[in-house]
Amino acid sequence: MVSEEEVLRIAELADIGIGKEELPPFTRDFNAILDYFAVLDRVPAGEGWKAEIANVLREDEVTPSLPREEVLALADAAEDGYIRAPRVM
């Protein structure tokens, strides 16, 4: 059983807010799903899945970047060519 506190901790890690009223149903669904995942305990031991090809590389060649106006137009707020973000300090 995963507790509501544990769900809150995971939500924090995922940067997903969770409302007070949402927490009980989220926790209930979460546990139902994890119960179903318990079937994985019965998986025989073995190697994990792996890709079949290797060494997919491109040459070190410069290709055009996007026009800056297009980049800045996507963002909600730009300033002197920079993109604005919330404070980190």
21 near another protein (CB under 8 A): no
The full length of the chain comes to 89
Q: Among candidates 52, 5, 56, 48, which has minimal Cα distance to 27?
A: 5
Q: Which helix (H) or strand (E) holds 79?
A: strand 78-79
Shortest Å, Cβ 1 to another protein: 13
37 near another protein (CB under 8 A): yes
Shortest Å, Cβ 19 to another protein: 8
- Out of 1, 20, 21, 61, point to the residue binding another protein (CB under 8 A): 61
